[in-house]
Chains A and B, each alone.
Chain A
Amino acid sequence: MATVLLVEDDPAARQGLELALRRLGYEVRLAETGEAALGGVCEAAVDVVVLDVMLPGVDGFEVCRRLRRGSDVPVIMLTARGDDFDIVAGLEAGADDYVVKPVEPRVLDARIRAVLRRMARAGSPAETYGELVIDRASLVVRRAGREVSLTPTELRLLLVLSGSPRQVFSREQLLDLVWEHDYLGDSRLVDACVQRLRAKIETDTSEPRYIQTVRGFGYRFGPV
């Protein structure tokens, strides 16, 4: 079963969430501070980080930014405020998804499962689009011959979009296909992930070649 690193400074919330996650079958590691979380990810094999935003010392956003420098582990932000500012800042820091406190265990479970789910490997040969090579068999993406390091969410988004080149996907559809959110998902998740993906695969993010915006509709892959 997957190992969750739960970063939460409030003892009661930490204890409650730990209990709920264990009952859902997860292996749970705990961290009380941002510093402890950064150490915890390094020393133990962690599959997913559930990260509180409001932490003493190094806050959740900073933890997420530092994690992203060397790791593609999925991060779910746990925000007590649900403020738009918090959510946008969390997504910009590199979070894959977020939940608003107080979160029901089944919701947190669904989110964790979604970010952990990998795309099914396909037997098809690697596809080449300009400088970009997408290998669905090995789930590896190369740009100009060099492997691009993607989080599971970024990879899924790229595979979904490139699976039907030129087809426009609405943000709602992408939320459903990539994040498995219900019909009320937050479309800013898609925008933030597209930005991160562009930063990794595009040569010029202001004039994207691969992930193109179709204003008023959504996104599409190509035409390259």
Chain B
Amino acid sequence: MRTRLIIAFIVVAVLAAIPAAWLVNLVLPYYPSLASLAAMPSPLSHLLLVPPGARTLAHPRTVAVVVFCLVAGALLLAVITGLAVAASRRVLLPVRRLARAAQRMVGGDLSVRIEPNGRDELARLVTSFNMMACALEDKICELQRMEARARQFAGDVSHELRTPLTAMTAVVDILPGHPDLTGDAAGAAQLVSQEIRHLNRLVHDLIEISRFDARTAQLVVDNTDVAAAVAACLRARGWSDVVTGIPAGLTMPLDRRRFDVILANLIGNALCHGSPPVTVQASIRPADGGEQLALLVRDHGPGIPPDALPHVFERFYKADTARSRSEGSGLGLAIACENTRLHGGHIEAANLPSGGALFTLRLPLPQAAPAVLPDGEPVTVTSS
């Protein structure tokens, strides 16, 4: 806006300067004292319509009339320019406000509204814009409410299932191998017991994922030795045929439980769907602006079908639709993904050219901060 004003004034000034220069030349012969000024080299002299020094004769009265006309013309020009600028401002200002409002909507702020000014077409455009923003906001809010209700429902159902499951889980151990149960009854008891465990796992995973949806999942971070965490994960699940290559002393702040869930899902997935040997390797690598932990889990099986690759982290996704049910809940990799995201990292799935699937877990390393001691005493840390 300001630039245009400046340009307008420059134009007016230049337009006014040309006749002024001509005028000066006209008057000079009558005022010899000014002639010395005109003789001085000046950028203005290029604009002179009459070359300096030329003899031009005009009566001072004529000059006065010309001067009056010129000044009046210049003033008129300035007024017209001012009016044009004001008119353009009246049009441009609401358009600019509209553009800004639209930008804010693009940025996700649907509450933006513009105060309409006047009764012209622009005001009507502003009113229409407001109505559109209103309708859009209502629609999005309704969609968000529906989504929240659906998620809440899934969470509530899972919670409700826990109460009957508590009673069943408490007594289920009594059934298998009970001396009173023989033949079909023993088989049925075995099946019921096994399926209660499966149901438990499913409900547990559903509640876990609903906590991510509700954004109530929290990190409880501890300084963790990665190699020890992997070893503990394998030991706790009895997975003895996994090859690990993790440097000793690689520690970083992690939520132990959540990190274990990530490891168990990635390694369990490799053991279940891939072929041995399953390897787990970890290293610290430079990443944008810092360092990251890269943990690689690979198997030597057939790999992931290319059409399944983009979907492996989706909830309840099964690469083989014919397979009715797997060991897990179908939520394992989705939960691993959410836990990784909570740590600020991500997981990538890929197929190796040599065969087998490769899952890469990447977690950013925080900037190193030394342990703070209240009184500067040396720290004795015992190794567990």
User: Do A83 and B216 touch (CB < 8 A)?
Assistant: yes
User: Do B167 and A15 touch (CB < 8 A)?
Assistant: yes
Distance A16 CA – B165 CA, assembled complex (angstroms): 10
Shortest B198–chain A CB gap in Å is 13
Residues on A close to B: CB < 8 A? 10, 12-13, 15-17, 19-20, 23, 80-85, 101-106, 166-173, 176, 182-184, 186-188, 207, 212-217, 220, 223
Query: For residue B147, which residues in chain A have a CB less than 8 angstroms away from its CB?
Result: none
The residue in chain A whose Cβ has the minimal distance to the Cβ of B200 is: A102
Distance A213 CA – B232 CA, assembled complex (angstroms): 26
B106 interfacial by beta-carbon distance below 8 Å: no
Shortest A86–chain B CB gap in Å is 10
Distance A207 CA – B375 CA, assembled complex (angstroms): 11
Given known contacts A83-B211, A186-B220, A166 and B377 CB-to-CB distance under 8 angstroms = yes
User: Do B217 and A84 touch (CB < 8 A)?
Assistant: yes
Query: For residue A173, which residues in chain B have a CB less than 8 angstroms away from its CB?
Result: 382, 384
B372 interfacial by beta-carbon distance below 8 Å: yes
Query: For residue A20, which residues in chain B have a CB less than 8 angstroms away from its CB?
Result: 170-171, 173
Query: For residue A84, which residues in chain B have a CB less than 8 angstroms away from its CB?
Result: 211, 216-218
Interface members, chain B 70-113 (any A CB < 8 Å): none
Chain B window 214-247, contacts with chain A (Cβ cutoff 8 Å), 1 for yes, 0 for no? 0011101011000000001000100000000000
User: Do A214 and B169 touch (CB < 8 A)?
Assistant: no
Q: Which of B217, B236, B371 has the most CB of A within 10 A?
A: B371
Sampled A-B contacts (23; CB under 8 Å): A13-B167, A16-B166, A16-B167, A16-B170, A16-B171, A19-B170, A19-B174, A20-B171, A102-B169, A102-B200, A102-B203, A104-B169, A105-B173, A106-B173, A172-B222, A172-B256, A172-B384, A176-B384, A184-B260, A187-B220, A188-B220, A207-B374, A214-B379
Shortest B179–chain A CB gap in Å is 15
Query: For residue B369, which residues in chain A have a CB less than 8 angstroms away from its CB?
Result: 216
User: Do A223 and B169 touch (CB < 8 A)?
Assistant: no
User: Which of A19, A82, A104, A187 has a CB less than 8 Å from the CB of B256?
Assistant: A187
Query: For residue B375, which residues in chain A have a CB less than 8 angstroms away from its CB?
Result: 223
Chain B window 266-294, contacts with chain A (Cβ cutoff 8 Å), 1 for yes, 0 for no? 00000000000000000000000000000
Query: For residue A176, which residues in chain B have a CB less than 8 angstroms away from its CB?
Result: 384
Distance A214 CA – B168 CA, assembled complex (angstroms): 44
Shortest B316–chain A CB gap in Å is 21
User: Do B381 and A212 touch (CB < 8 A)?
Assistant: no
10 closest Cβ pairs, A-B complex: A16-B167, A16-B170, A102-B169, A12-B167, A20-B170, A102-B166, A102-B165, A13-B166, A101-B166, A215-B372
**Chain B interface residue bracket vs A:** 35 or more
Chain B window 352-384, contacts with chain A (Cβ cutoff 8 Å), 1 for yes, 0 for no? 000000000000000001011111010111101
Query: For residue B384, which residues in chain A have a CB less than 8 angstroms away from its CB?
Result: 170, 172-173, 176
The residue in chain A whose Cβ has the minimal distance to the Cβ of B218 is: A84
Q: Which of B236, B373, B374, B381 has the most CB of A within 10 A?
A: B381
Shortest B78–chain A CB gap in Å is 70
Task: Flag the segment in B18-26, B45-53, B156-164 that touches A.
Answer: B156-164
User: Do A12 and B163 touch (CB < 8 A)?
Assistant: yes
User: Do A183 and B170 touch (CB < 8 A)?
Assistant: no
The residue in chain A whose Cβ has the minimal distance to the Cβ of B196 is: A102
B145 interfacial by beta-carbon distance below 8 Å: no
Distance A85 CA – B216 CA, assembled complex (angstroms): 8
Distance A220 CA – B381 CA, assembled complex (angstroms): 10
User: Do B165 and A168 touch (CB < 8 A)?
Assistant: no
Distance A217 CA – B281 CA, assembled complex (angstroms): 25
User: Do B216 and A168 touch (CB < 8 A)?
Assistant: no
Shortest B72–chain A CB gap in Å is 80
User: Which of B163, B256, B257 has a CB less than 8 Å from the CB of A10?
Assistant: B163
Given known contacts A166-B380, A170-B384, A217-B379, A212 and B374 CB-to-CB distance under 8 angstroms = yes
User: Which of A102, A170, A213 has a CB less than 8 Å from the CB of B170?
Assistant: A102
Query: For residue A101, which residues in chain B have a CB less than 8 angstroms away from its CB?
Result: 162-163, 165-166
Distance A215 CA – B223 CA, assembled complex (angstroms): 10
Distance A183 CA – B220 CA, assembled complex (angstroms): 14
B350 interfacial by beta-carbon distance below 8 Å: no
User: Do A105 and B220 touch (CB < 8 A)?
Assistant: no
The residue in chain A whose Cβ has the minimal distance to the Cβ of B261 is: A184
User: Do B170 and A105 touch (CB < 8 A)?
Assistant: yes
Shortest B200–chain A CB gap in Å is 6
User: Do A170 and B222 touch (CB < 8 A)?
Assistant: yes
Distance A5 CA – B168 CA, assembled complex (angstroms): 20
Distance A173 CA – B171 CA, assembled complex (angstroms): 33
User: Do B371 and A19 touch (CB < 8 A)?
Assistant: no
Distance A172 CA – B232 CA, assembled complex (angstroms): 13
Query: For residue B256, which residues in chain A have a CB less than 8 angstroms away from its CB?
Result: 172, 183-184, 187
User: Do A103 and B166 touch (CB < 8 A)?
Assistant: yes
Given known contacts A83-B211, A102-B200, A169 and B382 CB-to-CB distance under 8 angstroms = yes
Distance A83 CA – B211 CA, assembled complex (angstroms): 8
User: Which of B163, B169, B211, B220 has a CB less than 8 Å from the CB of A80?
Assistant: B163
Distance A214 CA – B376 CA, assembled complex (angstroms): 11
Shortest B121–chain A CB gap in Å is 54
Query: For residue A82, which residues in chain B have a CB less than 8 angstroms away from its CB?
Result: 207
Q: Which of B163, B167, B257 has the most CB of A within 10 A?
A: B167
Given known contacts A13-B167, A102-B166, A216-B223, A81 and B232 CB-to-CB distance under 8 angstroms = no
User: Which of A103, A170, A183, A216 has a CB less than 8 Å from the CB of B169?
Assistant: A103
Distance A210 CA – B260 CA, assembled complex (angstroms): 33
Given known contacts A20-B171, A84-B217, A170-B222, A12 and B164 CB-to-CB distance under 8 angstroms = yes
